[in-house]
Amino acid sequence: MKNVFVNGYGSIGSRITAFLKDDPEISVVGVGKYSPDEDVNVAISRGLDVYVPESKVDDFKDFKISGSIESALDKSDLVVDAAPGGHGFKNKKNLYEPRNISAIYQGGESTMGDNAVSDLLFNSRANYDLAIGKNHVMQGSCNVTGMGRILEPLREKFGDSIIRFDVTLVRRWADIEQTEKKLSDTIEMTEKPHHGDDVKLYFGKDAPLYVRAIKVPTRQMHLHIMDVRFNGTAPKHSEIHELFTNEFGVATLWTAKGTKDVRDYAQNMGFNFTDTNMIHIHANMTTSIGDTVQMMYSDDQTGIVIPENHMLMQAMLFEKSYSEAFAHTESIFHMTEKKQKLQEHFKKF
């Protein structure tokens, strides 16, 4: 049994703790909170111990907190840092390294430059083995994670016959829970998006991958538009779909008219946080024209990285093989069942 502390209780932290409570190999020490808001009581109502910074204990006098974050770390084997982007590096230097505690960081951090939290950006589909026994690893963002689930199988199947990948990321403006965040009536262009460089950290720095990004006023997932150019005639769209038949965390849907259709169905199925935890290939939009395959797939924002964090945790804490980690993650997240239900609901007529 290993003790895990989740430092932060927002979109990532609340999801991770919901699943870790079902893992018999892990004991959740508690969660870290930095603001004295209603989420403190929400966490407590879900059976979680809440810890706060030593310097802010007095700010939480109206809540039943369990102690300081510093004291929680002292009894933890690993911390999942779910703090806002940029705070992970500070936490690493001020909290985790002095205590020699292993840590997983989220997509708002960096693996490059002076503020790098790790030299490894994790994607279970591409570099699981490199994370075994590591002390500090960064989990890729939802977009970066999602691209790996599509890119790696394509490269494994078609290899050098692929000349280049061109991807347009249509990003959501805010998460489902961020009701305080207003959706602006605009389509915002992202100059020099980090996603392409991040993907190349596990896909290869010389990979022929080119990424552009825009942000649109929705909370209902991301959408990736990908063109895959081949050296010669491109595979038929049926070959592309067949490739992902048994792929973990990738569902092939035919009749979803939009991302909200998928989200609404997930809510009806009773998934945690209305997440599917996967990529959804919108099969009716896949086209093979000459030397190019055009495809679209939606990315379950936030939810997609939760099973990835679980896989990473097993590599770092238990040094499990990929197959062992995969089987255990499946027993917690039931991804195969979710995929089957999604594909049946949105099947081709």
Q: Report the catalytic residues.
A: 142
DSSP bridge pairs for 279: 250, 299
Q: Cα separations (Å) of 43 from 19, 74, 113, 175, 302?
A: 14, 21, 35, 19, 18
Rg of the chain (C-alpha set) = 20
For the four alpha carbons of 305, 307, 311 and 312, in that order, the dihedral sign comes to positive
Distance CA 209, CA 195 (A): 10
Q: Considering only CA atoms, which of 215, 213, 175 is closest in space to residue 14?
A: 175
**Which ranges in 278-321 belong to alpha helices (H)?**
305-317
What secondary structure letter does DSSP report for 301? T
Q: How far apart are CA 262 and CA 94, in angstroms?
A: 41
Give the separation between CA 206 and CA 195, rounded to whole angstroms.
15
For 148, residues 6+ apart whose C-beta sits below 8 A from its C-beta are: 123, 125, 126, 140, 199, 202, 203
